[in-house]
Structure 1
Amino acid sequence: MLEVISLLLRGIQPLLVPICFVVAWTVTILAVLSLWTAARDSVTTAKQMHQIPCTGCQYFTDNYRLKCTVRPSIANTEEAINCLDYQAKTNPYLY
């Protein structure tokens, strides 16, 4: 049994270095692609979240219990991007 395993290992040994080389680079490339995809998705999400106008609205209360006095269910969500009730703050002390 030991002779068979020894013979098998001697037969595979020349292929181990190229196989390990390919596997190592594949893992490295997949890790870089994964990081790139995560960064790209984060930037896309951040751009969309910056379109939410709630903090500059007259009706935004900046209170975690009642964020908006007109439409509290959609305040600070993607649904608020095209809010029909949006009114820009006119009083500089409300910022």
Structure 2
Amino acid sequence: MLKLISDLIHGIQFFLIPICFVVAWSVIILGAWSLWATVRDSVNKAKQMHQIPCTGCQFFTDDYRLKCTVHPSRANTEEAIDCTDFHAKTNPMLY
């Protein structure tokens, strides 16, 4: 019985080594690809979020209860990227 199991393991080992090699490298490549896709998507999302002009608008209040006096539901969201009511902050010390 033990001799039969030993012969079976030695017979499978010839096929098992290349299969494990391919599987191991496939896992490494898929992990690297997933990491790259995550970084790429994060950078694209960050670029899009940096286009939101709300913090430079005179209607932005910096208050978590009412972020914008004109469009409170759109403030600091992607909908505010092309806001038609955007007015740049002016320095109150100039007047």
TM-score (normalised: structure 1) = 0.89
- Deviation of residue 73 (structure 1)? 0.2
Runs of 4+ residues over 3 Å off in structure 1: 1-7
Gaps of 5+ in 1: none
Residues 4/29 of structure 1: CA separation in 2 closer, same or farther (3 Å cut): same
Match of 1:13 in 2: 13
Question: In the aligned structure 2, how far is the partner of 1:8 from the partner of 1:78?
Answer: 62
- Deviation of residue 4 (structure 1)? 4.5
- Partner secondary structure for residue 55 of structure 2: helix
Question: In the aligned structure 2, how far is the partner of 1:28 from the partner of 1:44?
Answer: 24
Percent identity between the two aligned chains? 71
TM-score (normalised: structure 2) = 0.89
Match of 2:33 in 1: 33
Question: In the aligned structure 2, how far is the partner of 1:65 from the partner of 1:4?
Answer: 75
Match of 2:58 in 1: 58
The residue type paired with residue 84 of structure 1 is T
The residue type paired with residue 62 of structure 2 is D
- Deviation of residue 17 (structure 1)? 1.6
- CA offsets, 1:7-36, max 9 Å, x none? 322210112221111111100000100000
- Deviation of residue 3 (structure 1)? 5.0
- CA offsets, 1:47-66, max 9 Å, x none? 00000000000000011111
Gaps of 5+ in 2: none
The residue type paired with residue 30 of structure 1 is L
> How many residues matched?
93
